[in-house]
A and B are shown apart, each in its own frame.
Chain A
């Protein structure tokens, strides 16, 4: 048995059928979750905007997602004449497969995942890096300038935001002293031997803020939906897709939103664990599944809430925010954590330093928001002023 695979080898002859069955279950659950996330998102956003959202299809519009899915499957699958055939057709799969691979390591309850890897957290961000390839393929293969622009924007944005994302996760991993997602969740519940029982969002509020921001960017959710901005580049890298292939992109988007929510709630909110309790009436797994569900649901609602609240950023604002604000703060946090952990500082010191950084970040954002801009053209836009003929 290798340390990589806490519960046996993936392809060992004794449990490969078990792995396949678990993956099938995860895929089925994911499909249902995605269908109801699209419905839920429309309902939630409608409520924020004082509308009703879908109401006609089934009771309270509950069948809307299914109806949409049926419509998308029945639509004609068009391929533009200028498209690069194979690149165009494989792009949706290349985007989807990494998200599916991430679902393999997520613990939904204690040891309830497809596989529990000792390097689980590292696996998540190693595999999600491959996600960009599919988007670039879609952008390049479509033979469309808007798609190409969307692909370039997606790649630039995702590569940049991966760095603060990974750094913020590493500062949690430093405290947890493990990369195993189950152990990270367990470290946030009460166990007599560890004594550690605060969720990492309390110990590392700055890492939480950085992670949440970078995650929104990786997901292309507002205010970072620059690669898929309808009003600028008519939908981004998947403009040319229709029918089933378009719905693959949609599936990827919502599945990764779900995956990130579960992952984020495991790393920062404790996943299936609750502080200071380790005995429940009834089976543990039922409670744990419910707790994971509540935490990830709260996470998803927060994402939707931000989407309806904040307007879209410009690409240069996005980049400078990543490289000039998030990255230095993430590095500072990593450094502070290193000192505190090396000299066995108390937990409260971790909270204090991180909270100081979080307050600084929020203060900077508020200061930038209320400050009056010096000129109307800022940043790189100054260079592209065109004189009217």
Chain B
């Protein structure tokens, strides 16, 4: 019961902060709302018994990605007076198009999917040992390939960023 109430509270927080991301007039406020939204999604994972995923959500999306967004905003979008530019450029209609299209696709898929309406199919608790066995033993090769891809991307980014030094 208490879990259910808290679940709905967090769901409301996710929706509210997501609306905040879209409707804020300043980019910084959007980024901060985004942190709230992603962290609340992480909190909802806790109720779904996928605690590892919840913590990864906090670490990657709450900590790293949004901090990166904030840092990039600080370094690039600062106006002359130390205030930030407003986020209403000429690309707003395209953003509307992309966002609306994505929303239509997602809602369409969600409505058309035949969800297994079975209460015994609730998520089970997955231990970290199972996660690591799946990641490093069962799917070891894709994992190594993905890490190689990331390494290449990292080296490429460094090469691109360092070119002006020459």
Chain B residues with Cβ under 8 A from A148's Cβ?
A: 74, 78, 82
* Contact in complex: A84, B58 (CB < 8 Å): no
Q: Is A143 an interface residue (CB 8 A)?
A: yes
A136 within 8 A of B: yes
Q: Is the interface of B mostly helix, strand, loop or mixed?
A: helix
Residue of B nearest to A383 (CB): B165
Fill in one digit per residue for A126-140: 1 if any B CB lies within 8 Å of its CB, else 0.
110110110011011
> In the bound complex, what is the Cα–Cα distance between A332 and B56 (angstroms)?
24
Q: Which residues of A contact B3 (CB under 8 A)?
A: 9, 11-12
Mark each residue of chain A from 1 to 27: 1 if its CB lies under 8 Å from any CB of chain B, else 0: 011100001111100100000000000
B67 touches A155 (CB 8 A): yes
Contact (Cβ within 8 A) A126 B26: no
Residue in A127, A133, A143 whose CB lies within 8 Å of B67: A133
- What is the predominant secondary structure among interface residues of chain A facing chain B? helix
A144 to B83, CA, bound (A): 9
Residue from the list B56, B67, B68, B128 in contact with A126, Cβ < 8 A? B56
Judged by a CB distance under 8 angstroms, whether A308 is at the interface is no
Is B59 in the interface zone, CB < 8 Å from A?
Answer: yes
Q: When chains A and B are docked, how far (Å) is the Cα of A237 from the Cα of B28?
A: 16
Tell yes or no: B55 within 8 A of A by CB.
Answer: yes
Q: Which residues of A contact B81 (CB under 8 A)?
A: 82
Q: Is the CB of A130 within 8 A of B2?
A: no
A145 to B81, alpha carbons, bound, how many Å? 9
Roughly how many angstroms separate A144 CA and B39 CA in the complex, as a whole number?
A: 28
Out of B1, B64, B71, name the residue touching A156 (CB < 8 Å). Answer: B71
B35 on the interface (CB 8 Å rule)?
yes
A137 to B56, CA, bound (A): 22
Closest beta carbon of chain B to A98's beta carbon, Å = 9
* Contact of A152 with B by CB under 8 A: yes
Say yes or no: B71 contacts A87, CB within 8 Å: no
- B75 lies within 8 A of chain A by Cβ: yes
- B51 CB–A CB distance under 8 Å: yes
A-B contact pairs, 14 of them (CB 8 A): A3-B128, A11-B2, A12-B3, A13-B2, A82-B82, A87-B28, A117-B51, A122-B128, A126-B56, A129-B67, A132-B63, A132-B67, A156-B71, A179-B128
Given A117-B51, A130-B62, 12 other A-B residues pairs in contact with their CB atoms under 8 A:
A11-B3, A119-B128, A122-B128, A126-B59, A129-B58, A133-B66, A143-B82, A144-B82, A148-B82, A155-B67, A159-B67, A179-B128
Q: Which residues of B contact A (CB under 8 A)?
A: 1-3, 6, 26, 28-29, 32, 35, 39, 46, 49, 51-52, 55-56, 58-59, 62-64, 66-68, 70-71, 73-75, 78, 81-84, 125, 127-128
